[in-house]
Structure 1
Amino acid sequence: MHSLLNNLVVKTKVDELMSNMTLAQKIGQMTQAERQSCTPAEAKKFHLGSVMCGAGSTPGENKLKDWLTMADSYWQSSSVKDACHHGIPLLFGVDAIHGHNNLCQATIFPHNIGLGAANDPALIKEIAIITRKEVLASGLDWTFAPNLAVAKNQHWGRFYESFSQSPDITNKYVNNIITGLQNQLHTEGILACAKHWVGDGATSYGIDQGDAKISWQVLNKTHISPYITAINSGVMTVMASFNSWNGDKCHGHKFLLTDILKKQLKFSGFVVSDMNGIDYLSDDFYLSIAQGVNSGIDMFLVSENWKQFIRYLSNHVELGTVSISRVNDAVRRILTVKVAMGLLEAPKPSKRKWANDNSFGSMEHREVARKAVRKSLVLLKNHQNTLPLDKAARILVTGKNANNIGHQCGGFTIAWQGVSGNDEFEQATSIWHGIKKIAPNAFLREQVEHVNANDHDVAIVVIGETPYAEGFGDIRNDDNLIIEAGSQINGQINVSEPYGSTIELQSLHSEDYATIKELTDKGLPVVVILISGRTLIINSELEESAAFVVAWLPGTEGQGISDVIFGDVNFQGKLSFDWPKNTVTSSLPLFPQGFGLHY
C-alpha cells in the first residue's frame, strides 16, 4: 500500500490537481461533514473532501437501496466538473466496527473484546473481508476501523472495542484487518482507519476522553506498537484520539501527530479528526481550528458547523496563523489517498463491484459470524461437568438477555448507543432462538418466582449489561474524578452520564443475581451466560452457578452459543484480559489473561 501512495503516476496526478486549486477548493478537501448537516448540492458547492454517517445516522428506511441512493447522490454531485469544480469525488465514511453495524440486515460480528478471546488471526481476516463486502454493497468507501486501543481499565465505556490488555493479540490481527479491508483497493477495497491516535485505552480511572498519565516509554511500547504494525500494513488513514497525554490533547499534539506519526513512523496517508474532536482544544472554536491544523490533522470531522470551519480556516490562512504549506501538505495527503485508491476513475457507487450484492447479510457471511461467536466464548466454571447440556433435557431459559438481539449486539448497532429487542434484526438469531432450534424441551420464561423445579432439569440464565457506547458506558463512582481529570487537561473535557457506579455486577444489575438465586434456592442447577462489554466482578453469580460462560457481545448470530453449550463444538476462547477479583486494582486477578476451560 505504501507503494500506491508513493507511486510516481499517483504523485503526477496529484500535482496536476493541486496546480490550479483555489484555497476554497483546498479547504473543502480538508472538511468532512455528517451527511444530515450537508446536502449533496452543498457538498459540491463547498468542494467537500468527505461526508460520513455518524452512528445511528441512516437514510430512508435503512435498507440497502436507501444507502446506495444516498451514496450515488453525493458521488454524482461531487464528481461534476465545471469551471469552478475539479470534480473530485468525496470519500464516504462510516463506523463499520463489528460488521456494517448501522445498516439493517447486515452481518454483525462479536465486538473486539470477544474476537480477542478467540485469538484467531485467520478468522479476523475473514471478518474484515466480509465487512468490506457489506460496506461496498451499500456504496461506501471508508470504515473508521480498526480500533487499536490497548484497554487498561474496565471502567472505560469503550473497553469492548479493545482486543486485549496487551498489544500482542492486536499486533497479530492488524495486518489481516488492514489487508482484508483494503485489499484490491483500486477496484474492490475500502479504506481502513487505525484509531485512536494515541493512548485512549490508558486514561486515568478509565474516563472516556480523559488523560493518559503515562511515560513516553509506556506509550511507545504498549499503545503505539499496534500503529507501527498498521502503518507497515499500509493503512491509509489514522484517526486522532479525544484523550490527552499528560495533560495535552492528542487533537492538538504536534509532537504525536507530526513528529512521531508522520515523520518518525513515516505515515504517508492522512490524519482525520474524531467527531468534533477539535472543539475541545479551546473555549474558542476559531483558535481550536488553527491548533488542530498546525498540529498535523489533515481532514476535520466537523459534523454540523463545517461551514464555520471553512470560513475560519480561510481567515487563518489569509492572516498567516496557518501556513499555506501546511494546508497544501494536508490536501496532498488526502488527494494522494483518493488517487491511489482509484476513486477518481471509479463508477458511481451503485455500479461498482459488490454494490447491492446478494452476499450482503447472506447465510455464508452469517456462518462466519456464528463461527466467531463459538470461538470467542470463554468457560470460567463447569462444576461436575454440567456442560455440555443434553439436547433432550427439560431446560428453563430466562434472564433479560436471553431473547434480546439488541442487547447481545451491544453499542454501535443500528443506533449509536445500541438498541433493545429483536425488531431491528430480521434475519438474526437470539440466544433463545439458537437454544430452541436444537433443544425441543427448552422453555423461555421471563418471570421465575412461580417456577416448579420438578418441571426442569437445568436452567440457563442469560444476564449482564445492556447496550452503551463511548462515554455513556463509563463506570464512575465519584464525580470528583471528572473534576480531577479536567483540572489536569489543557482544554475542555466532554463528560457523559456514566453507565453505572460500580463494576460489581450484583450492584450494577441486581436483577441478574436475584434470578439466579431464585432458581438455585429451588434446587435447579444454573448455567449462567454473561453478555458484557467488559470484565465485571461476578463473585456472587459465579458462586451460585453450576457453569459460567462469558459470551461478551456476540452480535447477530446467537446460535453460536448453543453450538457450544450443547457440545457440538468445544470451548476455545481464552481471556485476553485479566478478570478482576475485587475493586482493588493491585490484587491478583480472579482469572488471569489466557484462562479458559474446555470439555
Structure 2
Amino acid sequence: MKKNLISATLPCLLLALTACDRSGEQSEKRQAVSETSSQLNVPDYWPKRQAPVNTALEARIQALMATMTTEQKVAQIIQPEIRDITVEDMRRYGFGSYLNGGGAYPNNNKHTSIDDWVLLAEQMYQASIDDSLDGSRIPTMWGTDAVHGHNNVIGATLFPHNVALGATHNPELIKRIAEITATEVAVTGIDWVFAPTVAVARDVRWGRAYESYSENPELVAHYAKAFVHGMQGQGETLFDQQHVISTLKHFIGDGGTVGGDDQGDVRVDEQQLFALHAQGYITGIEAGAQTIMASFNSWQGEKLHGHQYLLTEVLKNRLGFDGLVVGDWNGHGQIPGCSNEHCPQAFNAGVDIFMVPGDSWRALYDNTLADVKNGVISMERLDDAVSRILRVKIRAGLFDKPSPAQRALAGKKEKIGDSEHRAIARQAVRESLVLLKNRNQLLPLDPSKRFLVAGDGADNIGKQAGGWTITWQGTGNQNSDFPGATSIYQGLKNAIDKAGGQIELNVAGNFTQKPDVAIVVFGEEPYAEGNGDLDNLEYQRGNKTDLALLQKLQAQGIPVVSIFLSGRPMWINAELNASDAFVAAWLPGSEGAGIADVILRNTNGDIAFDFTGRLPFSWPATPAPATGKPETTLLAYGAGLKYGADELLSAKLPIESETASDQLPPVTLLAQSVKAPWRIDIGSPDQLITNTSNVQSAGPVSIRTIDKTLQEDARLLQFSGESIGMFALRADFPVDWRGYLDQHSALVFSVNPTKLGDKPLHLITACGEKCLASIDLHDTMQALPVDTWSQISVDLQCLREQGMNFGQTFVPFSLQTGSATVFSIADVKIEPGKAKTATIRCAE
C-alpha cells in the first residue's frame, strides 16, 4: 500500500457544497463520464460472468440496510488506520473496517504481544457493535498486509516473497502457504488480508517487483486461484475460523507502468491490459475472492482510483465481481480535483471503501456525508457500496462468528511460527532457489570440509526477509526481532557441524585458516514500494564492495559460492564472473536453512535436494531490463540448472555497460527508509541510540514516521529543549565521497518547520571523532514558511571549508539544537551539479 498525503489544512475542508468552487465542473464531468460509460461496450475478450445470487443472503442485506441511517452507511465506507483512531472513535462512528499499515502495531510497539493484538481486535469489535452512540450493531473488520506470512507480527512464519515463490512453479505450495498465513492471522483476531498481489511485473526496475510472482500472466493466474482457495477455504472450510478474507491487488496494471515507475502510467492498449494484467483477477474472482484493491497507477493517463470504466463497467458489471473494492493508502487523494479529505469522484467511479490513514478520516467522513445529502453522491451508489460491504461480512461469517477473542484460534501463540508452518516455509525456500552457474560442478558441497561464510547477508535475517517485514520497508530490524527464525549462516553451521566440518563466519571475508570453499551471501538491502524503484539494474552501481569481496577471495585461490539475495533479477555479470557457483536465492524469509538443504550434500555424501527452481523473470544482460530480445536477455524465463547439467553461461561475461557514465548518480541517504550503510541515531550527542521503530523517543528527541508524498517517507522530529538533542545519519565505516565534491555536489533535503526555538540549529557532518563541519541553519529555516514543505541545499564545498574530509564520511547528515523545536525532514540526498544553485553556497 502506498500513499500520497496532501496537507490536511486545505481551505476547502468540510466545504462539501462548494468543493473549492469546482462542484459544478466536477458534476458536469461526472455526468459526462456516466453518459459515456453507459454507451461504451466492453470488448468481448473480457469474459462475461454473472455472479450467483443467494436470495437468503440478499434478503438479509436488504433487511440490514433498511435499518441503517445515512450516517451509519457512510461510516461503513471509511477505513482509518489503528495509529489514527481510538476505540472510542470506533464506538462513536462504527467504521465498517480499519487497518494496520506496514510497521503499525497495537500500542505502537513492534514487540507487542499476541495478546495485545487480540485485545485490540476485541476492543474494536465490541465498540463497533455497541449501539449506545451510533445506533449500529454491524461488526467491523480489521485488514492487514500479510504479504509473505503474518509479517507485521514478531515470531510469525515468514515465507519467501512472491518473486521467489514464482520460481517454484508450484500452485499447491502457494495454497498451503495461504492456509498457514490465514491461520496465523486468525490467531491475532484479524479478519482480512490484503493479499495476494497478482501484478505481472514487466519492468523489474519497479520497487514492488518482488511482490509479483512472475512476468508470465499464466503463472500468476494459477497462483491467484490457489492463494484465494488457501486463504478463504473451500467447501466445508470456506470462511471457517481458520480462514480469512483475501484481496486481489492492485487493480489493474500496477506491474506495467512505463519505466517500472511506482504509481506511474500504463500505456498499453486495452487488449494488452487484459492479456497481461487481468489474468489473476479472472481466476481470483472465479475462486471466490471477496475484495479487490484499486491501484495507484494510471491507465492511459487516468488514475485507477477514479476510473469508472475499469472499476465499474469492466470489474463489477462485465466480470461480475459482487464483492467490494477497497482503495489503497489515500489513493483517492491522487485523483485530480481530489484531496485525502474529499473525493466523491473515486467513490462514484467504483471504490467502495476509502482507505484513509492519517488524520484525514474525520473530514472525509463529514465531506462524504455532505456529498450524499447534497446529491453529489447518489443514495443508490451509497447503497450499492454498503450492500457489497455487508455481503462480504456475511459471507465471511462476521455476523455469526464469535467475537475475535472468543474464536477458535484467538491467542494461540503456539500457532505463530509453528514448526509445521516453518517446515513449509523451508520447503518453499528449497524449491525457489535458482542455480545460474556451477563451474566444474562445485555444488553440492561436502559438509565435512572447511568453510568460510562471508558477506553482510550471511547472518542477517532482516536482509534475507526483505521489505514488508515487521516494518514497512523491512529496515531497522535485528536478528533478535526474529525469534524462531534461522539465518543462512546458522542453517549452514547446523548442517556442517553435524557432518563434522568446520565453518567460520567473517563478513569481510577474512579467515584464520584458509577454507576449502567460501560461501558469500550478499545482495539488495530491504525496501518496499517507491523506495525500491531503480532507473538502472546494475547491482551496487558506483560502489562495488561485494564484487571486491568476491574478487579478493578468488584471487586467493578459494572457490567461491555466491548466494544472491534480491527482489528481482539484476545486472550482475561481474559478480557472476567472480563466482564459481551462483545461486539466485531471492528473499527467502525466516527459514534460511533451506539454502543449506540444497547446496550441501547430506552426511552420507548424497544429494539431499536438487535445484528445482526456474526463473520467474528473464535475467538481464545489460543494466536495462530484459525484453526477451537476445541482446538484452542473459537468461530467459524458466531457465535454471540442476546438478550435473551443462552450464548456461559463458565463462566470462561482458562487464562493460553501455549506460555507464563518468557522471556520478545522485545518492539517496534517507527516503522512505534510511539507506545502507547509514542508520538513524537520536538522543543526546553523547548518548545516541539507534532508531528501530516508527515512533521512538531518546532523551530530548522524539521521532515519528509520517507521510509527505508516499507512505512513511518523512520523519517528524521533536526536540524538547531540555538539553541538546541530535538526529544523525551514521555508519560504522567511512564512505569516500570525494568524487561528489569534485562534481560540485550539494547536500539536499526537504524540511517542513512547525516550531523553531531561538538557539542555533546546526547541520553537522563528521569524518571522525574530532573531524567535523558545522553550519547553523537557524536563519535559513526561520525564513521558510511554517507547516509547508521546502527544500534546503548546502554546497559540499562549504562543509569542506569547515573541516569536513569527504574521503572519510562517517556522518553525512545530522541536526542538533538545544531549543524546543519541531520540524519534519525527508528526501535527504547528495546531488551532483547542484552546488551553484544551492541555498547555502560558498566561493569557487
* TM-score class, shorter: over 0.9
SS at match of 1:471: coil
Matches for 1:331-346 after TM superposition, within 5 Å: 331-346=386-401
The answer for the alignment partner of 1:124 in structure 2 is 174
The C-alpha deviation readout for 1:63-108, integer Å capped at 9, x for no partner, is 2111111111101111123484221110100000000000000000
* In structure 1, distance between residues paired with 2:466 and 2:112: 19
Q: Measure the CA separation in 2 of the matches of 1:104 and 1:291.
A: 39
Alignment of 1:115-154 (within 5 A): 115-154=165-204
Residue deviations 1:500-525 (CA, integer Å, cap 9, x gap) = xx311142651110110111111111
- CA apart distance, 1:180: 0.7
User: 205-214 or 284-293, which moves further after superposition?
Assistant: 284-293
Q: Is the 1:187–1:353 contact (alpha carbons within 8 Å) kept by the matching residues of 2?
A: no
Q: Give the aligned partner of residue 585 of structure 2.
A: 551
The letter of the residue matching 1:518 is K
- Secondary structure in 2 matching 1:150: coil
Q: Name which of 609, 613, 616 aligns with 1:569.
A: 609
The percent identity for this pair of structures is: 43
Distance 2:542 2:153 in 1: 30
Q: 1:532 to 1:286 in 2, by over 3 A?
A: closer
Q: Which whole-Å CA distance do the structure 2 matches of 1:551 and 1:509 have between them? A: 22
Q: Judging changes above 3 Å, is the alpha-carbon distance between structure 1 residues 181 and 121 closer, same or farther for their aligned structure 2 residues? A: same
Alignment equivalent of 2:240, drawn from 180, 184, 187: 187
What does residue 135 of structure 2 align with? 85
1:272 to 308, 311, 326: 326
> What TM-score results when the alignment is normalised by the length of structure 1?
0.93
Code of the residue aligned with 2:641 in structure 1: it is L
Matched-pair contact (CA < 8 Å) for 2:341–2:361: no
Tell me the matched-pair count.
571
Q: Does 1:459 align with 2:518?
A: yes
Match of 2:574 in 1: 540
The separation in 1 between residues aligned to 2:481 and 2:215, in whole angstroms, is 33
The separation in 1 between residues aligned to 2:392 and 2:177, in whole angstroms, is: 24
Q: Which one of 410, 413, 423 corresponds to residue 355 of structure 1? A: 410
Task: Indicate the SS of the match to 2:574.
Answer: helix
- Identify the residue that residue 21 of structure 1 maps to in structure 2: 68
Secondary structure in 2 matching 1:312: helix
Instruction: Indicate the residue corresponding to 2:220 in structure 1.
Output: 170
Is this contact kept in 2: 1:31–1:302, CA < 8 A? yes
Cα deviation, 1:26-55, whole Å, max 9, x if unaligned, reads 000001010111111111211200010100
C-alpha contact 1:5 1:336 (8 A) present in aligned 2: no
Deviations 1:543-586 (A, max 9, x none): 11100000000000000000000032111100011000003555
1:483 corresponds to? none
Cα distance between partner residues in 1 of 2:133 and 2:411: 34
Larger radius of gyration: 2
Q: Quote the offset at 1:186 in angstroms.
A: 4.0
Q: Secondary structure at the match of 1:35?
A: coil
1:435 corresponds to which letter in structure 2? Answer: L
User: Partners of 1:451 and 1:509 in 2: how far apart?
Assistant: 24
**Residues 325-370 of structure 1 deviation map (CA, whole Å, 9 limit, x = unaligned):** 1111000100111112110122111211222233221111100000
206, 229, 238: which one aligns with 2:283: 229
1:187–1:221 CA distance, 2 compared to 1 (3 A): same
Give the match for residue 638 of structure 2: 594
* AA aligned opposite 2:139: P
Contact 1:114/1:377 (8 A) holds in 2: yes
Deviations 1:161-199 (A, max 9, x none): 000001111111122110111113443220000000000
Given candidates 487, 490, 497, the residue that maps to 1:430 is: 487
Instruction: Supply the AA of the counterpart residue of 2:384.
Output: D
Alignment equivalent of 1:444, drawn from 480, 497, 505: 505
Structure 2 CA distance for aligned equivalents of residues 430 and 251 of structure 1: 40
Is 1:365 the counterpart of 2:418? The answer is no
Provide the C-alpha distance between the structure 2 equivalents of 1:571 and 1:332, rounded to a whole number of angstroms: 49
Tell me, yes or no, if structure 1 residue 160 matches structure 2 residue 225: no
Cα pair 1:401 1:463 within 8 Å, conserved: yes
3-state SS, counterpart of residue 590 of structure 1: strand
CA distance in 2, matches of 1:67, 1:6: 36
Match of 1:482 in 2: none
Per the alignment, residue 255 of structure 2 pairs with 201
CA distance in 2, matches of 1:286, 1:153: 30
User: Contact (CA 8 Å) 1:506, 1:540: kept in 2 or not?
Assistant: no
Shift of 1:408: 0.4
2:342/2:364 contact within 8 Å kept: no
CA contact (8 A) 2:338 2:345 kept: no
Tell me the SS of whatever aligns to 1:434: helix
Answer with 90-99 or 184-193: which moved more: 184-193
3-state secondary structure, aligned to 2:143 = strand
Distance 2:635 2:102 in 1: 34
Instruction: Check whether the contact 2:82–2:100 (CA below 8 A) recurs between aligned residues.
Output: yes
* Counterpart-to-counterpart distance in 2, 1:372 and 1:85: 48
Instruction: Give the distance between the partners of 1:67 and 1:384, measured in 2 at CA.
Output: 52
Structure-2 change in CA distance of 1:367 and 1:186 (3 Å) = closer
Instruction: Please state whether the residue corresponding to 1:195 is helix, strand or coil.
Output: strand
For 2:637, give the aligned amino acid: Q
For the residues of structure 2 that align with 1:325 and 1:187, how far apart are their CA atoms?
32
The verdict on how the C-alpha distance between 1:163 and 1:284 changes in structure 2, with shifts beyond 3 A counting, is closer
Give the equivalent residue in structure 2 for 1:493. none
| C-alpha distance in 2 between matches for 1:118 and 1:214 | 29
Q: Which has the higher contact order (CA 8 A, sep 6+)?
A: 1
Cα offset for 1:20? 2.1
Shift of 1:287: 8.9
State how 1:62-77 maps to structure 2 within 5 Å.
62-77=112-127
Checking the alignment, whether the CA contact within 8 Å between 1:4 and 1:10 is kept in structure 2 is: no
Shift of 1:303: 0.8
Is structure 2 residue 142 aligned with structure 1 residue 102?
no
CA distance, structure 1, for counterparts of residue 543 and residue 112 of structure 2: 32
C-alpha displacement at 1:4, in angstroms?
10
Classify the secondary structure of the residue corresponding to 1:439: helix
